[in-house]
Structure 1
Amino acid sequence: MSDAEWAVVRPLLPAPGWLRGRGGQPEAYCHRAMLDAVRYLVDNGTKWRAMPADFPPWDRVYAFFRRWRDHGLVKEFHDRLRSKVRERAGRDPEPSAGVIDSQSVKADAVVGANNRSFDGGKLVNGRKRHAVVDTLGLLLGG
């Protein structure tokens, strides 16, 4: 993550409990390093245990991600960034329209037949996923 990206992202992150006087210990790893690790994982599609040694230990990164996901912070973080992008584009922070689209994704042979089907229009044997985006193409739901 570049310094410019971090300058935008940092104010959006929730403050740790120990900084807000709720007790606990300071976290052992920087939030920036944790976010870099999660971004690397998403970008490269690797497994948690296959994370390079340049990042904090995979189990710490996973615990960080899981805690944020379980408390709804990942969705909140995404929504805040989407609002900022929309404002910079001269739009209202909250979208007033959405577009529903689907995508057929090929499934591996190990995926059971009860979890996949055949898309006759695209001739793809796999799964179909749906997404709702705003008029700028930013994800609203999936």
Structure 2
Amino acid sequence: MYPTDLTETQWQFIKKTLEFDDRKRKYNLKIIWNAINYLVKTGCQWRMLPKDFPKWQLVYYYYWKWSNLECFDLLLSKLREKVRFNRGQNTMPSLGIMDSQSVRWGNNRSLNSFDGNKKVKGIKRHIVVDKNGFLLAIMVTVANVHDSKAADLLMRTLHYFLCPIKVILADGGYRGEVIENIKNKFGYIIQVVMRSDDRKMGFKPIHKRWIVERTFSWFDNDRRLCRNYELLFETSENMVKIATIKLLLNKI
């Protein structure tokens, strides 16, 4: 037993959502999920999975299969709806918060570049979250891509999932003509929320925008996300989705 293992209630939710059949297998799919959760939490390599789990090749096969079938996206959406409903909120959010996070590289074979503003060599995660900080959409680029340049592709990803967002809060990096372009293409209204220049007041969290910063701190709880160890951007995105799924499963 590991702390990352699914409870029976959590597994039944996954099984029902993804409509897994009950045919006989050598390894229960629940064990496969436990192995993937263990990998994301501890940051170990695929080949370094403990002997308690099936062979890493089998775990990776199911991971890649579920990724291609967009199972992680479906499960993330259903979990987010359930948690919001349990909190007395509408299942579909109308407000989003957008920001980016530069992440240091940990794989010298992966694409990476240098973020001159944050002084970070690696990749950049662009995300949109709801008012609870739960992930709505993610897109990964190299670190030197400016937020305003990536915003169009991020909105395209958000639109692909048919998310009925009306207003998206953002920082000053998204100022300019990108606001009008996104409104014309996707119908999303970008509201730029700036930090106050009054230094006498000391540090003060920016209204609602601090929520996305908290989401980034949640990512740091999983060692697989502290640095970018993935070769492909798609895999980097999937690891964030799995980490969010793991978080939401603990809230149902």
- Tell me which interval the TM-score lies in, with the shorter structure as reference length: 0.7 to 0.9
8 A contact 2:102–2:115 mirrored in 1:
no
Matched residues, number = 133
Counterpart pick for 1:139 among 128, 135, 141: 135
Percent identity reads 34
User: Structure 1 regions of 5+ residues with no counterpart?
Assistant: 20-24
Determine if the alignment matches structure 1 residue 84 to structure 2 residue 89.
Answer: no
Determine if the alignment matches structure 1 residue 117 to structure 2 residue 114.
Answer: yes
Where relative contact order (Cα < 8 A, 6+ residues apart) is larger, the structure is 2
Partner SS for 2:95: coil
CA distance in 2 between partners of 1:109 and 1:6 (Å): 32
Counterpart pick for 2:101 among 97, 100, 103: 103
CA deviation string 1:37-96 (max 9, x = no partner):
110011111111111001111111111111111111121111111111111111111111
CA distance in 1 between partners of 2:113 and 2:20 (Å): 42
CA distance in 1 between partners of 2:80 and 2:120 (Å): 32
Deviation at 1:10, TM superposition (A): 3.6
Post-superposition, which runs of at least 4 consecutive aligned residues in structure 1 deviate over 6 A?
Answer: none
Q: What letter corresponds to residue 55 of structure 2 in structure 1?
A: P
Counterpart pick for 2:125 among 129, 132, 138: 129
Q: What letter corresponds to residue 123 of structure 1 in structure 2?
A: K
With over 3 angstroms needed to count, the CA separation of the structure-2 counterparts of 1:141 and 1:109, relative to structure 1, is: closer
Partner residue of 2:73?
75
CA distance in 2 between partners of 1:3 and 1:92 (Å): 27
Aligned CA-pair RMSD: 2.2
Partner residue of 1:46?
44
Alignment TM-score, normalising by the size of structure 2:
0.48
User: Structure 2 regions of 5+ residues with no counterpart?
Assistant: 1-5, 139-252
